[in-house]
Structure formats: structure tokens, C-alpha cells
Amino acid sequence: MNTRLHSILAVIMFLASVGAFAQEKKPDPKFYIFLCFGQSNMEAGARPEEQDKGPVDERFRMLAAVDMPRLNRTRGNWYLAEPPLNRQENNMGPVDWFGRTMVANLPQEYRVGVINVSVAGAKIELWEKDMYQDYLSSAPSWMQNICKQYDGNPYKRLVDMARIAQKDGVIKGILLHQGESNPNDQQWCNKVKSIYDNLMKDLGLNPQDVPLLAGELKSEEEGGKCAAFNTAVLANLPKVLPNSYIISSKGCKGVSDGFHFNTAGMRELGKRYAIQMLKLQGFEYKETPAAEPAGFAMKVTDQGHLGVQGFGAILYSTFHRIFVGQKDTAMEMTLHGQRIAAKGGKG
């Protein structure tokens, strides 16, 4: 009798523990996951400036798609979304400021997670399930070496990481920036749709719930060598892929090579991705003030003096009241309203 009772209790405890575990692992509907892929601009090569180095909101996370030993990151795990978000040899890109802008405008109970699997110089074929092997076999060795970090199959790595992320949150969108290597490809939109359709199928997603945002290449105004792609190819994407949206690059600054955005351009482009995604998710975007550069930055006060954090400086020059042709010049420094230094002279 006791043995039977013990067995029943053991079964009950086991089922209870399984139920608790299942409940614990239930995805958080307010943890928004975004899949990102593309070539060098999405891969991220901009050097962070001072305003990019401030603390990152804990609600913005990245899932490491590769091992990053230098950063103590292991593939398949979540980390605070500090750059680089793609591979450890990369830098800052639009995904950084996409996520930062998202969490700054979402309610506090929402989180944002990103997965970035991008490869510099790659054609869109690299993410096609039935084409990537043929394409990669003739790709330059440096690109093949990059892809080795994804076991030679960036698409599969993106799917594998997305499946891990789905245990914790909900995939709410896809960010794409690619085209410099397919500048005149009239089948580009169809290829993107094929990749998108495969992602929906492989991840069990409803296309109506997962918009794809595709960013324009560097604009003609900024000297973009592939700017024609924006109007001749990319502009057709919403006609081919209904739940897709174009992110303008107009005004996004770039470096002089004709292809890449600079740090400010990356920052602005990422912000534009976020504004569109917030709108699609039913949230209002509110302009947030730009971060102040770290360091000693003085401003003109209401009194017309230079000042910062309790320190002030006054520089003035007047003609002498008696010797009209002679100037009196002086500088005074104050700390919290108290004069700490003064220097005057005649000119």
C-alpha cells in the first residue's frame, strides 16, 4: 500500500514539476524578437562615437549567432546589446540604434531582442536555401572564411538562432539591408520573397504578423554608387512582398567610398527602421533628445557666459574710459558662483 502511495505521489510531483517548467519556459509576448540580415552596412562597420558609448538599456538584448570569445559571448545565448551585435570583428550598425530607439519608445514591460546574421559583400543568393552552396563555392576566400563562422550556411544559422529565441519571445519582424552586390538584379525582389517565405515556413510564422523592412542603399545625394537600385529594384518590393516596407536613406551620411554609411548615417538609418516598426506594432514614436557626448562640453548660458556643471567662464573686452585707443581685456572663472580666477590686461 505504501509503495503504491509513494508511486502515485512521485507521479504527481513529476507532473507538477513538468507543468511548472513548461510554464516557466512559455515565451514572453512582450519580448519582441527581430531577425536581421544583409551585407556590410547591416553587418556593421561604423566606429562608435562618444554618444554611442553610453549605457545600453537592459531591455535591449542580442542573441549571439556565433561564438565571440574576446567578448565572452557564446553562440545561442542572450547578452546586453552592446556593439558589435553581429560578429566580434564588427562594429556599430543600424541594428544598434534600431533596438535603442525601440526600447526608448516601448512601455517599460517590453523588451527587444535582435539576431544579426550578415556577411559583407554577399549577394542575396547567400540566404537562398537552394542557391547558397553554388554561390559560396565561387565566392572569394575571405567571404568563405566569414561564412565558416556560420558553419557555411548563414540562412540555417539564422533559423537555428531564431528557434532558440522563440523559446523566450515572439518574432515580430525582419530587417534587411542588402543590394550593393545585386545592383541591377531585376529578380532581387523575388529572391527576397523566397527567403521570406522560407523563414515563415521554417519558423511557423504568419506572414501577416511579421513585416519585413528593407533599407535603401546609400543615396545619390550622398554619392551612392548603387543609388539607382533604390528606384529601379528596391521600390518594387512591396508589390512582390505585401507585408514589406522601404526605409529611406535620404540624408543618411556616408563615407567617401560610395557604398557605406558613416556612424551618423548608421544611427539615423537604424532610427528610421525603428520608427516604421513602432508604427506597425501600434506604438507611437516620440522624439528623444540626442545623447550628450561624454567629456567636458561647455554651453552658452542664459546670461551669455560659457558654463558647464557649476563651472563658468566670462571673457570680455572693452575700450578704456580715459585712454580711448586702449582696450581692457579680462577673463574670470567661477565655480558654483564663486570667483576662482581672474586675469586682465591692456591691448
- CATH of residue 188's domain is 3.40.50.1110
Instruction: Identify whether 260 is a catalytic site residue.
Output: yes
Considering only 101-110, 156-165, 320-329, which range has the smallest mean pLDDT?
Answer: 320-329
Q: Assign 94 a pLDDT band (cuts: 50, 70, 90).
A: very high
Out of 96, 160, 181, 260, the active site residue is 260
Whether residues 307 and 183 fall in one domain: no
Range of the domain at 275: 25-280
Work out how many domains the chain is built from and give that number.
2
Whether residues 200 and 111 fall in one domain: yes
Does the pLDDT value for residue 294 go beyond 50? no
Whether residues 266 and 310 fall in one domain: no
Q: Assign 279 a pLDDT band (cuts: 50, 70, 90).
A: very high
Q: Assign 22 a pLDDT band (cuts: 50, 70, 90).
A: very low
Does the pLDDT value for residue 24 go beyond 70? no
SS3 148: helix
Q: How many CB atoms lie within 10 A of CB 140?
A: 9
Maximum alpha-carbon separation in the chain: 117
Instruction: Identify whether 40 is a catalytic site residue.
Output: yes
Whether residues 40 and 188 fall in one domain: yes
Out of 137, 257, 302, 336, the active site residue is 257
Grid cell of 298 as nine digits: 561647455
Among residues 250, 280, 310, the one where a domain terminates is 280
Q: What is the pLDDT of residue 72?
A: 97
Whether residues 94 and 241 fall in one domain: yes
Q: What angle do CA 46, 221, 40 make, to 5 degrees?
A: 30
What percent of the chain is predicted at pLDDT more than 90? 72
Does the pLDDT value for residue 304 go beyond 80? no
Q: What is the pLDDT of residues 119-131, one digit of tens each?
A: 999 999 999 999 9
State the Cα–Cα distance between residues 118 and 194, nearest whole angstrom: 18
Does the pLDDT value for residue 322 go beyond 50? no
Grid cell of 113 as nine digits: 531582442
Checking 253-256 for CB contacts under 8 A at 24+ apart, the result is 253/222, 254/218, 254/222, 254/223, 254/224, 256/223
Out of 40, 181, 219, 244, the active site residue is 40
Q: Residue 288: which of 102, 131, 86 has the closest Cα?
A: 102
Instruction: Identify whether 244 is a catalytic site residue.
Output: no
Q: What is the pLDDT of residue 291?
A: 47
Whether residues 240 and 311 fall in one domain: no
Q: What is the pLDDT of residues 168-196, one digit of tens each?
A: 999 999 999 999 999 999 999 999 999 99
Contact predicate 246/235, CB 8 Å: yes
State the Cα–Cα distance between residues 291 and 236, nearest whole angstrom: 36
State the Cα–Cα distance between residues 209 and 207, nearest whole angstrom: 5
Output the 3-class SS for 72-90: CECCCCEEECCCCCCCCCC
Does the pLDDT value for residue 7 go beyond 70? no
SS3 286: coil
Mean pLDDT of the chain: 85
State the Cα–Cα distance between residues 52 and 97, nearest whole angstrom: 9
Q: Assign 227 a pLDDT band (cuts: 50, 70, 90).
A: very high
E-strand stretches of 217-337: 244-247, 299-300, 306-308, 311-319, 327-335
